[in-house]
Amino acid sequence: MQPQKITPFIWFEKGAEKAAEFYVSLFPDSRVVQSTPMVTTFELAGVQFMALNGGPAFKLNESFSVFISCEDQKEVDSLWAALLAGGGTPSQCGWLKDRFGLSWQVVPKVFMKLASDPNPKKAQAVMAAMMEMVKFDVAALEKAHREA
């Protein structure tokens, strides 16, 4: 496979290879491409990433996150649990930080559809419901949309 022109490059203090191995275990069409003591290249669902064991000079934070577009509540629940396992921390509105410090957005596709409803009252109701959530709840989003 020819390298992507643009590849997200993630600075980990340490454990880049372990992080990559964990991430590829979660998504179909994923693999570790190459690993050295400093840099691990991996693909998640066909998208290539590079991870560096860069030491403590820089810390991961929420200014960079990986957005996952989930098919349904089952996929949201499964990825949410897996990414939090081993020391991750939930945030709000579908955001979490995994045990390696990388931020993720675990978002059901239906949210994007409902939140962009041309009826502003319905779209606002969905956004208001989402603002009260930690992990996305598809049934609650659909209820907010339906009742608006």
* Confidence (pLDDT) at 29: 93
Q: How confident is the model at residue 4 (pLDDT cuts 50, 70, 90)?
A: confident
User: What confidence category does residue 6 fall into, taking pLDDT thresholds of 50, 70 and 90?
Assistant: very high
What is the sign, positive or negative, of the torsion defined by CA atoms of 124, 91, 136, 98? Answer: positive
Task: Kindly state the percentage of the chain with pLDDT values over 70.
Answer: 98
Looking at residue 78, its amino acid is S
- Alpha-carbon gap, residue 99 to 23, rounded angstroms: 11
Angle between the 138-147 and 73-84 helix axes, to the nearest 10 degrees? 140
At 93 the pLDDT is: 97
For each of the domains in the chain, give its residue range(s) and CATH number, in order of start: 1-55 (3.10.180.10), 60-148 (3.10.180.10)
Q: What is the rounded distance in angstroms from the CA atom of residue 127 to the CA atom of residue 115?
A: 6
- Looking at the DSSP bridge assignments, the partners of residue 26 are none
| Each residue's pLDDT tens digit, 50-66 | 999 999 999 999 999 99
pLDDT at 3 over 80: no
SS3 83: helix
Average pLDDT of the segment spanning 129-133: 98
